[in-house]
Structure 1
Amino acid sequence: MKLFSNTIKSLENALDYSSLRQKVISNNIANVDTPNYKAKDVSFKDHLTKEVGQQMSAYRTSEKHLEFSRGSSSNYQITTKNDTSYNHNGNNVDVDKEMAILAENQIYYNAVTDRISGKFNSLKSVIRGGK
């Protein structure tokens, strides 16, 4: 028996994604002066593909058609940006860009926590009988 809807699971996955991205961004900022350090990021495209793949199924009219793949949404791909170099020491961390991404991620995290809090408040209201 399912206690919560799929929305709670999706919001939990979104919080996991945002938390991991926060750690990666913080690591980038911490290594801004490390020689030959390459900035990393969490791949959102893979995250989105996994989320959509779990919520949608393909109608196949032929066995040759491909199915949507389903994967574990707790595994996010961390990519390294090897194609740039901003500093003379081979480091490619742009602090201003990382701080902007950090702020964007914080806004995303706050929105998700507000949404999950609203879900739990709705459940609490139902349990109390609408009081």
Structure 2
Amino acid sequence: MKLFSNSITTLERALDYSSVKQKVISQNIANADTPNYKAKDVSFKNMLQQEKELGLNACKTDSRHFDFYGSSSGTNGVYTRNDVQYNHNGNSVDVDKEMSDLATNQIYYNALTERISGKFQTLHSVIKGGR
């Protein structure tokens, strides 16, 4: 029996994505003046494509289980941007774009936290019997 609905699990995964995105944006901003630093980004689509190409990794806990081939990249969807213009020092961070991405991610994160809070408020109300 599942304690929470699938929507709470989905919101949890979305919060995980937003957290990773926040870390990557912060790293990009912190390294804006670092020579030869390559800007990074987070993409679920790229992560899924990599996993499909490399194959999925699984833990075999019993000799009767099927073998899984391939190796997982373990990058959590983080990749180095290749379609960018480099500065004179070889750095590819565009601070204006990063700040815009940061604001967008903050709005996304706030919406997710409000939604998951609403889900828990609903559960709280149900547990208390509507009082």
Fold match (TM-score > 0.5) = yes
Deviation, 1:79, is 1.0
Deviation, 1:48, is 8.3
Aligned length: 107
Deviation, 1:89, is 0.6
Counterpart-to-counterpart distance in 2, 1:8 and 1:75? 24
- C-alpha RMSD over aligned residues: 2.0
Asked whether 1:88 is paired with 2:88, we answer: yes
Which residue is equivalent to 2:118? 118
Question: Contact between 1:86 and 1:94, CA under 8 Å: does it hold in 2?
Answer: no
Which residue is equivalent to 2:28? 28
Counterpart-to-counterpart distance in 2, 1:100 and 1:84? 16
Matched position secondary structure for 1:85: coil
Deviation, 1:20, is 0.5
TM-score (ref. length: structure 1): 0.76
Counterpart-to-counterpart distance in 1, 2:48 and 2:14? 10
TM-score (ref. length: structure 2): 0.76
Question: Contact between 1:24 and 1:40, CA under 8 Å: does it hold in 2?
Answer: yes
Which residue is equivalent to 1:106? 106
> Partner letter of residue 20 of structure 1?
V
Deviation, 1:46, is 4.5
Counterpart-to-counterpart distance in 2, 1:75 and 1:122? 35
Q: Which runs of 4+ in 1 moved over 2 A?
A: 44-49, 82-86
Counterpart-to-counterpart distance in 2, 1:120 and 1:24? 29
Which residue is equivalent to 1:15? 15
